[in-house]
């Protein structure tokens, strides 16, 4: 896909991987609108020349508010990047059930709702793409964050099914599976972290090259391990 002049809506674009993706898409000539929850960060992105929409995807009302603001505008690429990570570890105490609900809606329900609502506009374009950012933990889970892992694996399987449905259409369905990336979400984690700029670069390459799946960084090794033995892959991640 040629990215110049493509109309892109990217969720969660005011920090982390999303911020680097929109910068790199803009550098290739794409016309990007990004969403975020933090007004100060959104203001900083507007200073860089981006259109922004404040949006909270932890409920249907938040998703619908974004859709109302977007209206009937054209869209070539929907990039579902917004996400939450919540600890859910009974070894550390009683988890927050409300935080779990917010994580589930943000990571899984919101992308599905956005895809469903924007499908007519995507179908109307000469070529289009839906890009879902999942995680290496969609392949094998970490014990401390089972809610996050469940949402990302759910989005992975939704993506696989959606790709099959749309294989003969104008819409490319792409999944990107990052490893642990050096973002605010992963502050304090002692594991090796990929720079967000490099993670974003590989995602943008996957879009430009019409790849179905982008296994990024250490996720490549995890995918190999999973193909040999799912138990081996789980042994690599469950301890985290």
Dist. CA 139–CA 220, nearest whole Å: 11
Q: Which residue has the tokens 């507007």?
A: 46
Q: Is 206 helix (H, G, I), strand (E, B) or coil?
A: helix
Strands 51-54 and 77-80: unpaired
- Burial annotation 3-13 (CB, 10 A radius, 16+ → b, else e): beebbbbbbbb
All domains of the chain in start order, with CATH: 7-237 (3.40.50.720)
pLDDT tens sequence for the chain (240 residues): 999 999 999 999 999 999 999 999 999 999 999 999 999 999 999 999 999 999 999 999 999 999 999 999 999 999 999 999 999 999 999 999 999 999 999 999 999 999 999 999 999 999 999 999 999 999 999 999 999 999 999 999 999 999 999 999 999 999 999 998 877 665 556 567 899 999 999 999 999 999 999 999 999 999 999 999 999 999 889 877
**CA 56 to CA 58: how far, in whole Å?**
6
What is the rounded CA–CA span in Å between residue 92 and residue 77?
41
Among residues 99, 73, 57, 56, which one has the least CA distance to residue 8? 73
Q: What is the pLDDT of residue 181?
A: 87
- Give the angle 148-153-159 at the CA atoms, nearest 5°: 130
| Predicted local confidence at residue 239, as pLDDT | 78
pTM given for the model:
0.93
Indicate which residues carry an active-site annotation: 148
Interatomic CA distance for residues 89 and 86, integer angstroms: 9
């Amino acid at each position: 896909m040629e990215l110049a002049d493509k109309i892109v809506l990217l969720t969660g674009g005011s920090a982390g991987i999303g911020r680097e993706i929109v910068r790199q898409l803009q550098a290739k000539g794409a016309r990007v609108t990004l969403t975020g929850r933090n007004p100060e960060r959104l203001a900083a992105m507007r200073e860089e020349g981006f259109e922004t929409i404040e949006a909270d995807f932890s409920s249907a009302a938040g998703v619908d508010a974004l859709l109302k603001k977007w209206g009937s505008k054209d869209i070539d690429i929907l990039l579902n990047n917004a996400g939450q990570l919540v600890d859910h570890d009974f070894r550390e105490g009683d988890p927050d059930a409300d935080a779990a609900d917010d994580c589930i809606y943000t990571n899984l329900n919101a992308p599905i709702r956005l895809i469903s609502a924007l499908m007519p506009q995507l179908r109307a374009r000469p070529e289009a793409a839906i890009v879902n950012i999942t995680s290496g933990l969609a392949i094998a889970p970490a014990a401390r964050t089972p809610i996050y892992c469940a949402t990302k694996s759910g989005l992975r399987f939704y993506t696989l099914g959606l790709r099959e449905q749309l294989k003969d259409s104008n819409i490319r369905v792409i999944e990107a599976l990052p490893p642990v990336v050096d973002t605010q979400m992963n502050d304090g984690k002692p594991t090796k972290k990929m720079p967000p700029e490099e993670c974003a670069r590989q995602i943008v390459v996957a879009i430009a090259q019409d790849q179905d799946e982008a296994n990024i960084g250490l996720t490549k090794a995890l995918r190999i391990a999973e193909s040999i033995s799912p138990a081996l892959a789980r042994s690599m991640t469950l301890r985290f």
